[in-house]
Structure 1
Amino acid sequence: MFQMTKRIRTGVFAAVAALTVSVFSQPALADAGFQKWVAGFRSVAAQSGISGNTYDRAFRGVNAPDPEVLEKARFQPEFTAPVWDYFDNRVHEDSIAVGRQMARQWKPWLDRIERQFGVDRHILLAIWSMESNYGEILKNDKVMRNVVRSLSTLAYADKRREKFARQQLIAALEILQRGDIDESHLTGSWAGAMGHTQFIPTSYKAYAVDMDGNGRRDIWNSVPDALATAANLLRQNGWQTGKTWGYEVTLPAGRKFPSGSMSLSKWQDIGVVRARNKGFPSPSDNAELKVLDGREGPAFLMTKNFFVLKRYNNADRYALAVGLLADEIAGHGGLVRDWNRPFTKLSFNEKQELQKHLLALGYYDGKIDGKIGQGSRSAIMAVQQAMGMQPDGHPSKEVLSRLQRR
């Protein structure tokens, strides 16, 4: 079993290597073209006020496109995670426990940020978790890249992202010129998202805050600056201080509901009840019904702050995950009605145990992090097939139990 898996994996790696060679088969020519592009972009930067000295510092050592950036840009996964998978990987025992620990560790700064911006600290902690796993991804050299190289790579070689990348590259150069960070520490994701709270350069320019008062808006190294920057974005986009993002509710059976927004009291009038039979503290607030997992899953009435969260990331799942994680960190409890899973859910520690079994058997070579991504799913499918189970890739109690008995 292990040998078969190893051969399959070797074949996959060989195919990926061949593809990489094919895509970048003329590195000298590509490098020359890139260097010509860099020289030409200098005048564009100058028109935006970037000095020659800043430009030279930014591009020192940037002599060729980043092939991994192009690979990520070209081969973004088409897999759309089921709703339960998305939330299980983001709102779990570990993200909650670390969030509570960070709430204690950074309490004096969170007190100040809340006073200044009026944004709930638990929301900021949840965003920090969602964006960078409380800063852990910033320590990963395989994820963090030179922002100038990444954006110039996209501007040079990716026609779909050229306009975006050029705009972001100018903004990144302006950040360097202002002195908030030096060129050796201007790092980010392959697409240029930076720091603890993952701001693209133009958003950084619009919202960055020097919370710790050292004269630099350093979202890479200063947690106060990063959290205050996130708070500033939310405040400037209409965050309502002292209000929640929304409520889990129970829907009366067999009834259709209107689309759009209406007051919480009107939702109550047509039979929608807040979970745990609690009342709505502000019945006049408007809310919109969201059901992300069908009528059999949890339902929510979303108030204005939910839609403000979407200014950070314009996805219902993202905003809801931030809200749910924030509530858990604050100790308000989790969902009354869980997501519809076609299997028995594992705890976070059990998912790590599952990954360890898959690693020991040679099916998995990723991190033991309790997060079920495509690598874990593929490994689960392979081991399910080997054990004569339906190869659905689900991280289930059933799979773990079978592996524990081996």
Structure 2
Amino acid sequence: MPVIVFSIPSIKSPLNIRSLQAVIVAFSVLLLIHPAEASNPQFGECISRMKDQARSEGISDKTIQQVLGKARYLPRVIELDRRQPEFTQTFANYFGTRISEERIQRGRELLTRHRELLRQIERESGIPAQFLVSFWGLETNYGGFFGDFRITDSLATLACDPRRSGYFTQELLNAMRIVDAGDIAAERMIGSWAGAMGHMQFMPSTFLRYARDIDGDGRRDLWGSIPDAMGSAANFLRQLGWVPGLNWGQEVRLPSSFDYSLAGRDQMMSYAEWQRLGVAAISGASLGPAEQKAALLVPSGHQGPAFLVTQNFHVIMRWNRSEFYALSVGHLADRIAGAARLHRMPPVETIKISREQVRQLQRDLLALGIDAGEADGVLGSATRKAISRFQQRTQRIADGHLDAALLVAIREAANGVMQQMVE
């Protein structure tokens, strides 16, 4: 914070006491009128430019003053933006913390409580009620926690940070448009550090495109109106391409001789083709319509559960680009609707693999002539495919699953190649 120096007069006389009081009042007014400029000059300059941009895009002076006139720089937001988990998360860990009996039971209670509303939305949109409740449960624990950041301050902080300024500037302007439209007052716009808001954690751009006024009060209120939140989520999913009448997927049983190199989101085959390969529904019934396309996922490798996932699974991933998240949404929806737990639970893995180890793994695979994509420390689909290719080369089960032993084997193989190059 910049140092502001005032000359403080002697306070021996009543006149000087009044002078001191005047200085204190002036300083307080300075902080109230120019909070951004007083606490962070660069932030203040950025906010001044943002005011000009907001005016040029038709945002009212009243909203500009309410939002940017009171904007606060939040160092904590920058800390959270820079922080990445030190260790990669296993499916067992992710799934186990999100699919609890308490969350399942609460979801069933809310499905019953809001049945009339949810069924009406389902008739209009084609989105099954249990999926809306499942998203609700995973996003905010059924409205239990929206986040505790003032959205406009979070977005202003990120908009004035060079790392992703362009994206967050647009989200801040969109948040101001929401305030301008009268959907919510700026001070009530509370959410996550990154700007996600309300029961379903919409970003402002998502809000503007997909939020709907279902309860008819003239406002799209995703904080205080469950009808608006559920109807908006259904509208979003429908526009993302949800296919009515099609489930997200199902757990399946694989034959002992299965070729795991066929697993992966991008390898869609018909149920008839999967059945010819020996893939069977857990129930023993038919997988479904013979022509229906699906992909096979084995998020814990060959020792864990296997899933055939449909186009609607890919729609869920357009909401959140995580296979673990989409699998959790699908399974929680099934459980809320009364289904049993997984037939084969993911094995608990106690070993932790750091992001730096994954980065080294990606470099090692490249040294072996196997492209794993950018060495970013993220164990994504490209890296899993590269692991599968290494497993095939070395006569292992090619399930693309990484454990500590495989990590060591790949490191040793890469060291061997580099040693040969030196010699």
- What is the TM-score when the length of structure 2 is the normalising length? 0.71
Query: Greater relative contact order: 1 or 2 (C-alpha under 8 angstroms, separation 6 or more)?
Result: 1
The offset of 1:169, in angstroms, is 0.4
2:326 paired residue number: 319
CA offsets, 1:8-63, max 9 Å, x none? Answer: xxxxxxxxxxxxxxxxxxx986523322221221111122221212111223432x
Which residues of structure 1 form unaligned runs of 5+?
1-26, 344-406
The offset of 1:240, in angstroms, is 1.2
1:251 aligns with 2:254: yes
1:339 paired residue number: 346
1:59 paired residue number: 68
The offset of 1:194, in angstroms, is 0.3
Q: In structure 2, how many angstroms separate the alpha carbons of the residues matched to 1:298 and 1:310?
A: 19
Are the aligned partners of 2:183 and 2:220 in contact in 1 as well (CA < 8 Å)? Answer: yes
Compare 144-153 and 53-62 and name the one that shifted more.
53-62
Identical-residue share of aligned pairs (%):
40
Are the aligned partners of 1:192 and 1:200 in contact in 2 as well (CA < 8 Å)? Answer: yes
Question: 10, 31, 34: which is aligned to 2:40?
Answer: 31
Q: In structure 2, how many angstroms separate the alpha carbons of the residues matched to 1:113 and 1:220?
A: 18
1:310 aligns with 2:317: yes
Q: 1:104 to 1:287 in 2, by over 3 A?
A: same
**Which stretches of structure 1, 4 residues or longer, exceed 4 Å deviation after superposition?**
27-30
1:149 aligns with 2:134: no
Q: In structure 2, how many angstroms separate the alpha carbons of the residues matched to 1:80 and 1:228?
A: 35
Are the aligned partners of 2:92 and 2:349 in contact in 1 as well (CA < 8 Å)? Answer: no
The offset of 1:253, in angstroms, is 0.9
Structure 1 residue identity aligned to 2:324: R
Structure with greater Cα Rg: 2
Q: In structure 1, how many angstroms separate the alpha carbons of the residues matched to 2:113 and 2:88?
A: 35
1:291 aligns with 2:294: no
Structure 1 residue identity aligned to 2:112: R
CA offsets, 1:155-184, max 9 Å, x none? Answer: 11x322211110100110111111111111
SS class of match (2:145): helix
Question: 254, 263, 280: which is aligned to 2:287?
Answer: 280
Q: In structure 2, how many angstroms separate the alpha carbons of the residues matched to 1:52 and 1:33?
A: 22
1:107 aligns with 2:115: yes
Question: 164, 174, 177: which is aligned to 1:174?
Answer: 177
1:357 paired residue number: none
SS class of match (2:324): helix
1:83 aligns with 2:91: yes
Question: 232, 235, 242: which is aligned to 1:232?
Answer: 235
Are the aligned partners of 1:70 and 1:153 in contact in 2 as well (CA < 8 Å)? Answer: yes
1:137 aligns with 2:145: yes
SS class of match (2:269): strand
Structure 1 residue identity aligned to 2:251: E
The offset of 1:74, in angstroms, is 2.2
Are the aligned partners of 2:158 and 2:165 in contact in 1 as well (CA < 8 Å)? Answer: yes
Tell me the number of residue pairs that the alignment of Structure 1 and Structure 2 aligns: 311
Q: In structure 1, how many angstroms separate the alpha carbons of the residues matched to 2:186 and 2:197?
A: 13
Structure 2 residue identity aligned to 1:246: G
Q: In structure 1, how many angstroms separate the alpha carbons of the residues matched to 2:243 and 2:185?
A: 36
Structure 2 residue identity aligned to 1:213: G
Structure 2 residue identity aligned to 1:315: S
Which residues of structure 2 form unaligned runs of 5+?
1-35, 351-423
Are the aligned partners of 2:258 and 2:277 in contact in 1 as well (CA < 8 Å)? Answer: no
Q: In structure 2, how many angstroms separate the alpha carbons of the residues matched to 1:125 and 1:295?
A: 31
Are the aligned partners of 1:276 and 1:336 in contact in 2 as well (CA < 8 Å)? Answer: no
CA offsets, 1:363-399, max 9 Å, x none? Answer: xxxxxxxxxxxxxxxxxxxxxxxxxxxxxxxxxxxxx
SS class of match (2:303): coil
1:126 aligns with 2:134: yes
CA offsets, 1:65-90, max 9 Å, x none? Answer: 01221221122323322110100111
